[in-house]
Amino acid sequence: MSEAVAELETPWQAMFQRLLAEPGPRAEAAEPETRLDARVYHDPQRYHAERSHLFRRLPLCLGHADQLREPGSILAREIVGLPLLLVRDAQGEIGVFLNACRHRGARLVAEDSSTCQKSSLVCPYHGWTYALDGTLVAVPLREAFPTLDRAERGLMRLPSTVRHGLIWAVLDPQLPEPDIARYLGPIDAELAAIGLGQHRFFRQNAVRRATNWKLIVDAFMEVYHVKRLHSGTIGPFFSDSIAIADHFGPHQRMLVARDQLGQLRDQPPAQWHPQLHGTMVHLIFPNTILIYHPDYVSHLGMFPTAPNETLFVHTMLTPDAPADERAKAHWDRSFDLIDRQVFHDEDLTVCEQIQRGLVSGFGQDFLLGRFESNVRRFHETVAKALGQHGAPPQTPPG
């Protein structure tokens, strides 16, 4: 166990002690059943409010810096309707720009699921050329633009920073650079303890799925479904509905009990670890989920593209680059299991089925039980963040 992890033994030990205190499924007596208005998943007005007030104003985690490992590494991706460029420049600094030439708005780099290497950014339409730091450096037939000030026509840069190896950006160029440590609160120290900044990018799958982004978040914020939906994959490795959750401002942390939880009673608390003896999950509001598997981390980003469609980005982060082909094959198998068999074939497939049911008039609300209190908190946080722009509040069942 690293020194950084040891510094956080106390909160993790306390969480495990809470798990061990009750051997069966935890349904907090103080947690109410609630009804959730189903319109939050498909109402167009709600969707546009979320894009404007959450995804354009709050810090979003766009990926891990190791995906842009070398100077000249570039990733083009459309996020909630904005074409973005994530770029590591010649000095090694990472910036986030609008993928739009300042002449006529053409995209400089075609969107792709993987990074590319470039020494400069050249517009395919008229050949305007930009350095990797966004500076406009060349204009063909410069005499055609007698009033052009190149200093004013650099690429539009978005407020961004890197913390814990993660690239954070605000999608409004008028807002200041985000203070991520302040935004994360107590979770900031936990990400440092896990050592995300030292993790390496291994694989990524980015795909659009026909479901609302919040349905996907819901799926990762409760464990009531794990033994049933995932009975043929990861279900046997977990206890049934045993988890501890805490919330820090808009964010949440959950520690899920694995099937060997009881064996911790025979080990000293200093050896309890939230990856080896449980599965810890962070929800960083609004749309980032980090899942800490025994020997790697899944970073999930849910980016809405329509009320009933989401760009789902799953990135596998490993503590080290694979030392040999055997290690690479191990992590390839792990990625295929969790990404294809668990996330896509099970979680996301159910989310799409729910979405289709909502559109067909399935019902007006959902009943959330005591095992789904994290889902309730998440939706309350969304509604609070939207204020008067949100959907009608949840009401207790009649």
CA distance 374 to 377: 5
- DSSP track, 109-159: S---SS-EE-SSEE-TTT--EE-TTS-EEE-TTGGG-TT--GGGSS--BPP
60-177 matches 3-57+185-389 in CATH topology: no
The residue count for the chain: 398
- Which residues are bridge partners to 248 per DSSP? 251
CA distance 77 to 97: 11
CA distance 93 to 134: 12
What pLDDT does residue 242 have?
A: 85
How is the chain split into domains, by residue range? 3-57+185-389, 60-177
The Cα-based distances of 393 to 40, 358, 359 in angstroms read 10, 18, 20
> Is the domain 3-57+185-389 a CATH 1.10.630.10 member?
no
pLDDT in tens, the chain (398 residues): 344 344 445 567 888 888 888 656 654 545 778 999 999 999 999 999 999 999 999 999 999 999 999 999 999 999 999 999 999 999 999 999 999 999 999 999 998 878 999 999 999 999 999 999 999 999 999 999 999 999 999 999 999 999 999 999 999 999 999 999 999 999 999 999 889 999 999 999 999 999 999 999 999 999 999 999 999 999 999 988 888 899 999 999 999 988 877 778 888 887 787 777 889 999 999 999 999 999 999 999 999 999 999 999 999 999 999 999 999 999 999 999 999 999 999 999 999 999 999 877 666 889 999 889 999 999 999 999 999 555 444 444 43
* CB contact set of 25 (below 8 Å; sequence gap of 6+): 240, 241, 242, 371
* Residue range 60-177, CATH number: 2.102.10.10
CA-wise closest residue to 187 among 216, 207, 221, 163: 163
The Cα-based distances of 33 to 40, 262, 374 in angstroms read 18, 29, 12
